[in-house]
């Protein structure tokens, strides 16, 4: 089973988006040295907690800062974009970093309705819901398979990467995405951290796909003890509670979060989280992977303190016996 990273570039209270992006580069170097398989960058718009609206802009710097790890989008929210422009961006990246670039495609907006509208180029009406057509066109640009009489048929030959192209994934948290992934023979990454009831959806994908490859995305925080991990996890618990109230905030410090949660107990259930000591987290990750029969687990971790986030990924790598290849450049977290 492979382990990978999904980085949402969290912004801590009192910090800045610029520092969050610097932390992303630092964490990517660490993940590369720890032996993680891929490093995906998320797309979110118009919020105060996450600093990653443009994975296509961040993939290049991350790939340049690392040596072996695959780098990609988790994901590009295709409804916002021209399929041809996405093909150009990722052909360019694949040409610069051959056999290292992933293009994870999502259907969600990654934001609220107002910001979705602000992202539209044409605001005369709501953008059409034509994701399957967009996805088919995008893949056809890469594969040069548009019909000869299609007005865009020659554009695939102009892609800057030439024959180099990314590995394309479909991301999802609902049944429809599994249908499309199976129909198009794409690898499929299911966001269990959004919908923890996706095992049947993943099973349906495997049954219908000739070349199934399943990854599952999980929330996880590891610390030296279960108690410390729970303390760290309080920050994202408060952050998500405020988001549900449409009051987004930067990631709060644990001390503030614990006071808030004590005064505002959260309902049981909801999103799955894997929090605890390295052995606790290892068992939790293995259980989710078995539930989904996944080949790969993609771990997303948000903490107030960047050093704690680094340490969490280190502890998980050690628990699973990943082969580290660290040098002094990545052993210590930067200040800030």
Whether 254 maps to a domain, the answer reads yes
Residue 120 pLDDT class (50, 70, 90 cuts)? confident
What is the predicted pLDDT for the residue at 45?
A: 94
CATH of the domain at 57: 3.20.20.30
Q: Of all helices (H) and strands (E), which one includes residue 5?
A: strand 2-7
61-88 pLDDT tens trace: 999 999 999 999 999 999 999 999 999 9
Give the total number of structural domains in the chain.
Answer: 1
Whether 158 maps to a domain, the answer reads yes
pLDDT at 207 over 70: yes
276-315 pLDDT tens trace: 999 999 999 999 999 999 999 999 999 999 999 999 999 9
Q: Rounded distance, CA 321 to CA 203, Å? A: 28
What is the predicted pLDDT for the residue at 55?
A: 97
> What is the chain's mean pLDDT, rounded?
94
Q: Rounded distance, CA 315 to CA 21, Å? A: 23
Q: Are 57 and 21 in contact (CB under 8 A)?
A: no
Q: Rounded distance, CA 199 to CA 126, Å? A: 33
pLDDT at 245 over 80: yes
Residue 115 pLDDT class (50, 70, 90 cuts)? confident
What is the predicted pLDDT for the residue at 258?
A: 98
pLDDT at 196 over 60: yes
pLDDT at 208 over 60: yes
pLDDT at 332 over 80: no
pLDDT at 240 over 90: yes
Distances (CA, A) of 6 to 38, 215, 218, 220, 286: 8, 12, 9, 11, 17
**112: domain range?**
2-331
Q: Rounded distance, CA 321 to CA 144, Å? A: 41
141-188 pLDDT tens trace: 999 999 999 999 999 999 999 999 999 999 999 999 999 999 999 999
* Neighbouring residues of 208: CB distance < 8 A, sequence distance ≥ 6: 178, 179, 182, 183
DSSP string, 41-75: E----S-SSB--S-HHHHHHHHHHH-SSSEEEEEE
Exposed, middle or buried by CB within 10 Å (0-12, 13-18, 19+), for 198?
buried
What is the predicted pLDDT for the residue at 330?
A: 57
What is the predicted pLDDT for the residue at 44?
A: 94
What is the predicted pLDDT for the residue at 134?
A: 96
Q: How far apart are the first and last CA of the chain?
A: 34
Q: Which of 335, 336, 324 is nearest to 30 (CA)?
A: 324
Arithmetic mean of pLDDT, 34-45: 97
What is the predicted pLDDT for the residue at 333?
A: 55
What is the predicted pLDDT for the residue at 329?
A: 52
What is the predicted pLDDT for the residue at 121?
A: 84
Q: Which of 65, 69, 62 is nearest to 38 (CA)?
A: 69
At 308, list the tokens: 């704690």
Q: Taking the C-alpha atoms of 173, 179, 181 and 184 in order, what is their torsion angle to the nearest 10 degrees?
A: -160
Whether 336 maps to a domain, the answer reads no
What is the predicted pLDDT for the residue at 110?
A: 79
Share above pLDDT 90 across residues of the chain, in percent, rounded to a whole number = 85
């Amino acid at each position: 089973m492979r382990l990978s990273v999904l980085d949402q570039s969290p912004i801590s209270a009192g910090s800045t988006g610029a520092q969050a992006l610097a932390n992303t580069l630092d964490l990517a170097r660490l993940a590369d040295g720890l032996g993680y398989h891929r490093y995906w960058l998320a797309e979110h718009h118009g919020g105060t907690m996450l600093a990653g609206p443009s994975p296509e802009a961040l993939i290049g710097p991350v790939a340049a800062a690392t040596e072996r790890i695959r780098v990609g989008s988790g994901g590009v929210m295709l409804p916002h974009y021209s399929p041809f422009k996405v093909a150009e961006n990722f052909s360019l990246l694949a040409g610069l970093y051959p056999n290292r670039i992933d293009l994870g495609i999502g259907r969600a907006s990654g934001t609220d309705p107002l910001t979705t509208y602000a992202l539209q180029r044409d605001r005369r009406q709501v953008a059409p819901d034509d994701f399957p057509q967009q996805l088919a066109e995008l893949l056809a640009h890469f594969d040069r398979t548009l019909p000869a009489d299609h007005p865009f048929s020659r554009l695939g030959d102009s892609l800057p990467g030439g024959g180099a192209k990314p590995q394309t994934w479909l991301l999802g948290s609902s049944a429809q995405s599994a249908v499309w992934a199976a129909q198009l023979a794409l690898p499929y990454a299911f966001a269990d951290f959004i919908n923890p009831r996706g095992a049947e959806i993943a099973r349906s994908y495997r049954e219908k796909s000739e070349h199934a490859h399943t990854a599952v995305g999980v929330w996880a925080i590891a610390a030296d003890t279960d108690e410390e991990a729970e303390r760290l996890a309080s920050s994202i618990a408060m952050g998500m509670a405020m988001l549900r109230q449409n009051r987004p905030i930067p990631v709060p410090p644990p001390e503030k979060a614990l006071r808030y949660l004590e005064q505002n107990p959260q309902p049981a259930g909801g999103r799955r989280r894997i929090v605890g000591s390295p052995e606790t987290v290892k068992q939790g990750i293995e259980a989710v992977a078995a539930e989904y029969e996944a080949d790969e687990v993609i771990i997303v971790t948000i903490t107030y303190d960047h050093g704690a986030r680094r340490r969490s990924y280190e502890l998980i790598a050690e628990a699973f016996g990943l082969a580290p290849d660290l040098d002094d450049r990545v052993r210590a977290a930067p200040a800030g």
